[in-house]
Amino acid sequence: MTPASARPGDGIAWITGASTGIGAAVAKKLVADGWTVAITARAEDKLQTLASAYPGKMIVAAGDVTDAAGMKALRERIESEAGRPVALAILNAGAWQEMGAGDFDFAAFKMQFEVNVIGTAACLDAVMPGMMARRAGQIAVVASVAGYRGLPRAVAYGATKAALIAMSESLKFDLDKAGVKMSLINPGFVRTPMTDTNKFPMPFLLEVDDAAGRIVRGLAGGYFEIAFPWQLVLPLKLLQSLPARLFFGLLGRGVK
């Protein structure tokens, strides 16, 4: 039997990367739906500002997702403060830096893997055992449509998101048997402080509240993959099926 989506009565929600952008917008939507939400990021001042608008509904839990021991301790503190377990974990912390062969930067490459992949794994290590022991809960990993196939100027970012997609798919087999819902979130371009620095065209750019609504509805609806907008997802899914010769020939025309 497919595990059920988490509901507010099951416990609390925990969102990483929650100080701005998608994480903050999803936290607001979940509070409106009746959740108590623990919000995590390194910028405690931004978390405090966000939580101050929702007294008693948000738990500020600042921390660095790359610190695995710290994430376990943070999850324990969150559950102790709330008096309930983490029933929904949305692992959203991420870093992005445009990169190609000509400006390949090992330090920036490593940083993106540490935040996007290792940081997600550290949070999984913090929440997954408890959920499996209770045979209840929902984990959502935020990847990106950029992980569907290797795209220009996304040498590091695309690779991290491809890793998260494969990891989430692999985990689903065991988590289904353990009674834990696994969800994968693959957004396209969303207007956030992270994408505000982009100097290239961003087709089908969504506002952050629109994206957050799609995520919350998808999680409640029990979908494994929540990917949007379809106008971007569909062509990228089609690119996945192309043989290498056609793929590079098609995309290579637009690369300067």
Check 54, 148, 157, 223 and give the catalytic one. 157
For residues 186, 93, 35 and 134, what is the CA-based torsion angle, rounded to 10 degrees? 90
Judge contact between 110 and 139, C-beta under 8 A.
no
Helix axes 106-113, 157-178, angle to 10 degrees: 20
Question: Is residue 54 flagged as an active site residue?
Answer: no
Judge contact between 27 and 36, C-beta under 8 A.
no
Tokens 């490593």 map to which residue? 110
Report how far apart, in Å, the C-alpha atoms of 114 and of each of 93, 107, 120, 219 are: 11, 10, 9, 26
Q: Which residues are bridge partners to 39 per DSSP?
A: 15, 60
Enumerate the active-site residues. Answer: 157
